[in-house]
Amino acid sequence: MTDFCTDALEKGAHNIRKHIVNTIVNNGEGHGGSALSCADILSVLFFGIMDPGDKFLLSGGHKCLALYGALAEAGTIDPSVLGTYNRLGSPVPGHPDASKLPGVEFSTGSLGHGLPVGCGYALAAKMTGDGYKTYVLMGDGEQGEGSVWEAAAFASLHRLDNLIAVIDENGLQINGRTADISKPTDFEDRYGAFGWSVKTVDGHDVKALYEAFKSAPFEEGKPSVVVAKTVKGKGISFMENKAEYHHWHPGESEAVEALRQMEEAEKRWRT
């Protein structure tokens, strides 16, 4: 990957973060921490990896501001629609709704639904001979749902190597550290034991993410999972690595400071 591409993907991630921050500041609340942690992953997938026919399922539906930001940057939706976030009748509610917004492949919100549905998409492609790939983005806290592991076993048994899961491992969930709440082993070991092929990368290094996704399937006949080590609240210093910013209600001073930090970050592309 050229530096130019790296720069474009970093710019894409920055723009996604800008949509997230602006929308939450304008609306007064929103799932900020985990949308910010997956912005680089979405930039790489939407602007570097996915072909037009590929499918993206946001299993952790609460990260939807990142998806809305990516869709706005991709030109799939008009960015002004984000101004209606959470309002009555809005196409951009607090969890993504496929019946309301173009570009949302499947409605999500309750955790642990995406990987089973992704298995259905991947299986359908195997049955019809379609070449599309199915990407499923999950959180690390979400791995506590049993349905994730039902699907993990199925994908492995049925050799769904057209299925690529991503775990946005920001290490935090609502009540604290994922390691303290729901994580008995490393995801690498767990997915490996379920017969998946695993790659672990820095989830904010777009080059590393790009290379990992580009090499999927990592092994023929096996589903692939990218474990992306991320920082919750990435990009806004006072939000970083703090569980309390899972759902962010910015006061005036936080709003001003967050917008200032986004402005500061943007200077890089203004020369």
Q: Map tokens 């680089």 to a residue.
A: 40
Options 13, 70, 115, 243; binder of another protein; rule CB under 8 A: 115
Which C-beta is closer to another protein: that of 113 or that of 246? 113
**Cα–Cα distance between 259 and 265 in angstroms, integer?**
10
Closest to another protein by CB, 105 vs 161, is 105
102 counts as binding another protein under rule CB under 8 A: no
Interaction residues for another protein, span 117-136 (CB under 8 A): 117-125, 127-128, 130
Question: What does each C-alpha distance from 42 to 17, 131, 135, 170 come to in angstroms?
Answer: 11, 21, 11, 15
Size of the site for another protein (CB under 8 A): 30
For another protein, the binding residue among 99, 185, 253, 271 (CB under 8 A) is 99
Q: What is the DSSP letter of 48?
A: I
Match 């939000």 to its residue by tokens. 239
From candidates 151, 167, 216, 228, binder to another protein by CB under 8 A: 151
Q: Contact region for another protein (CB under 8 A) — 6-14, 40-48, 71-79, 101-109? A: 101-109
Q: Using the rule CB under 8 A, is 154 a contact of another protein?
A: yes
β-pair partners for 201: 228
Q: Does 19 bind another protein (CB under 8 A)?
A: no
Q: Which residue's CB is nearer to another protein, number 196 or number 248?
A: 196
Helix-helix angle 206-214:3-27, to 10 degrees: 110
Q: Quick check: 27 and 264 in contact, CB under 8 A? A: no
Q: What is the dihedral of CA 110, 114, 117, 122, to 10 degrees?
A: 180
User: Closest separation between CB of residue 234 and another protein, Å?
Assistant: 29
Closest CB to another protein among 163 and 239?
Answer: 163
- Three-state SS for 214? helix
As given in the structure block, the two tokens for residue 172 are: 């935090």
Contact residues toward another protein (CB under 8 A) are 98-99, 105-110, 112-113, 115-125, 127-128, 130, 146-147, 150-151, 153-154
